[in-house]
């Protein structure tokens, strides 16, 4: 039985931002933060199956691809990388790239990379806050500037870059071409309403991602029977003995805990292992007595999700 507040680790990236507020505080050395990786607390905690990140893009990321399990194992890696994105915020012209405008043979893909025309071969689309996208392994993809994205993925850090806008970072053209599905992207279904407070956003063989919207002054029983991550998007609640506010992440595994939502309500993302929605994830217990749980805003405003180098 496990329920714990996750720790965050900043990852510097040249395309990152200087101020990831309200999701975290500015880094002490003024470095650009591209990603926040959330991990279990404590040195003795077992490694999780999934990895939850926040991404901050002030410039376009590379055009890249992740291998599937079979390709990853063929080159000595434990697993591939399928991921899903939830757009937390987006500038008006923010775009992502998913797949190609048409299917091409590997030789044409390699030539487009060499000539720099791969940018024109990508299928670009506008995105807005609240969009959810499943990005299966082998999908050529890119994230444009002006985005903050929550990402849930298989725990893997293998990325093959095809094109990087003139950066001096290493490209992995041969591996990328071999691993990629050089074809248009096929959408993976639409969000599905599970209950009046739960919406399944995406699902695949590795994980399910859903959005939860809990009304003010309500009480719930949270039941998890597998590895589960929760990211607070807005509002405030008490989960067991922990008070959580926007930007907090909780890791849970095989546990049952009471959730008390305060007068602002609670909006969050839940991601867990498996392709089937957890039928009993949240059970309504009734209304909360406001006097039993005074507002935590004063503490929340001074709470630090501080970055460490």
161 belongs to the catalytic site: yes
The region of weakest confidence among 49-63, 79-93, 182-196, 294-308 is 294-308
Q: Does 275 map to a domain? A: yes
pLDDT in tens, 65-89: 999 999 999 999 999 999 999 999 9
Active-site annotation holder among 40, 138, 161, 198: 161
pLDDT in tens, 262-282: 988 999 999 999 999 999 999
In the predicted model, what is the mean pLDDT of residues 124-151?
A: 98
Domain of 223, in residue numbers: 192-302
Q: Does 261 map to a domain? A: yes
Q: Same domain for 205 and 169?
A: no
Structure confidence at residue 23 (pLDDT): 92
Q: Does 273 map to a domain? A: yes
Residue 288's pLDDT band (boundaries 50, 70, 90)? low
Q: Same domain for 157 and 204?
A: no
Residue for token pair 């650009």: 32
pLDDT in tens, 232-271: 999 999 999 999 999 999 999 988 999 999 988 999 999 9
**Pick from 138, 156, 179: which residue ends a domain?**
179
Measured distance CA(118)–CA(122) in Å, rounded:
6
Give long-range contacts, CB 8 A cutoff, 24+ apart: 284-287. 284/218, 284/219, 284/220, 285/219, 285/220, 285/221, 285/258, 286/218, 286/219, 287/217, 287/218, 287/219
Q: Does 280 map to a domain? A: yes
Number of domains making up the chain: 2
**Pick from 152, 179, 206: which residue ends a domain?**
179
Which CATH number fits the domain that encloses residue 152? Answer: 2.60.120.10
Q: Same domain for 202 and 174?
A: no
Say if CB 140 and CB 124 are below 8 A apart: no
Q: Does 219 map to a domain? A: yes
Q: Same domain for 202 and 175?
A: no
Q: Does 220 map to a domain? A: yes
Q: Does 20 map to a domain? A: no
Please check the confidence at residue 217 and state whether its pLDDT lies above 50: yes
Residue 306's pLDDT band (boundaries 50, 70, 90)? very low
Measured distance CA(86)–CA(37) in Å, rounded:
15
């Amino acid at each position: 039985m496990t329920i714990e507040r996750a720790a965050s680790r900043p990852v510097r990236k040249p395309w990152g931002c200087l101020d990831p507020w309200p999701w975290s505080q500015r880094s002490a050395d003024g470095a650009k933060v591209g990603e926040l990786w959330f991990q279990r607390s404590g040195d003795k905690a077992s490694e999780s199956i999934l990895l939850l990140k926040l991404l901050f893009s002030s410039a376009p990321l590379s055009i890249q691809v992740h291998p599937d399990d079979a390709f990853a194992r063929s080159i000595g890696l434990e697993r591939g990388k399928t991921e899903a994105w939830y757009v937390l915020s987006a500038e008006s012209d923010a775009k992502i790239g998913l797949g190609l405008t048409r299917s091409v043979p590997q030789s044409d893909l390699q030539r487009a990379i060499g000539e720099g025309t791969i940018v024109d071969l990508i299928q670009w689309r506008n995105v807005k806050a609240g969009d959810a996208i499943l990005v299966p392994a082998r999908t050529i993809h890119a994230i444009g500037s002006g985005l903050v994205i929550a990402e849930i993925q298989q725990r893997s850090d293998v990325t093959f870059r095809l094109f990087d806008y003139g950066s001096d970072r290493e490209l992995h053209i041969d591996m990328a071409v071999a691993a990629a599905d050089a074809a248009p992207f096929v959408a993976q279904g639409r969000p599905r309403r599970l209950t009046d407070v739960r919406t399944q956003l995406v699902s695949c063989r590795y994980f399910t991602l859903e959005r939860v919207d809990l009304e003010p002054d309500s009480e719930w029983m949270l039941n998890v029977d597998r590895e589960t991550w929760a990211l607070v998007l807005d509002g405030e609640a008490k989960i067991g003995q922990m008070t959580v506010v926007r930007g907090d992440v909780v890791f849970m595994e095989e546990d049952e805990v009471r959730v008390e939502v305060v007068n602002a309500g609670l909006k969050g993302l839940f991601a867990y292992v498996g392709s089937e929605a957890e039928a009993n994830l949240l059970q309504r217990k009734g209304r909360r007595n406001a006097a039993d749980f005074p507002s935590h805003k004063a503490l929340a405003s001074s709470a630090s999700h501080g970055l460490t180098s």
